[in-house]
Amino acid sequence: MGVLKHFESYIAAQKATGMQFVIFGVLLLIAGILLHFSQLTPITQGLRNGFFVTSMLLLASGVGFIANQNTLLQTKTETYQTNQQEFRQQEIERMQGVNKRVPAIVKGLAVALILALLALILIGIQPLWKGVLFSVLIYLLGLLILESISYLSVKTYLESLLNDAT
């Protein structure tokens, strides 16, 4: 398979990840709507409010990520058509950076936030805020799962670039 085909497969996988963000956002929005029509306690009010906010963040980031991948596909395809060696070198450098930095940053930040949120939930704060914090915790756990799926396509694409370069 050629380098451009590997790149197109990588972009398709990244777009699928963006769509998963959108689906996760829709699911949280539906959960928030269902909570709105249930018997509201302070905790469920916090969950509902948190779900509404995080669902909007997920929807916006998912749509933005898909648009970004479309732009990346267009610009990198033009680079490939102009100079294949330059394309390959740029992609190897870009993907090595992504492979090295992004998982550590995402994992470290998410784990720190999750631990901080769990500590806040366990201490005696108001039930409304416990609900909000719990919704943010669900959001962060979902992001970790989606980022781990996305990382697989990054790793596979980088391996294909390195194997084609040799």
Residue 119 has a pLDDT of 87
Residue 120 has a pLDDT of 83
Residues of the chain with pLDDT under 70: 1, 165-166
Residue 57 has a pLDDT of 94
Residue 164 has a pLDDT of 77
**Where along the chain do its domains lie?**
3-165
Residue 165 has a pLDDT of 56
Confidence (pTM): 0.86
CA–CA dist 31, 16 (Å, integer): 22
Residue 83 has a pLDDT of 92
Report which of 20, 46, 42 is spatially closest to residue 31, judged by C-alpha positions: 46
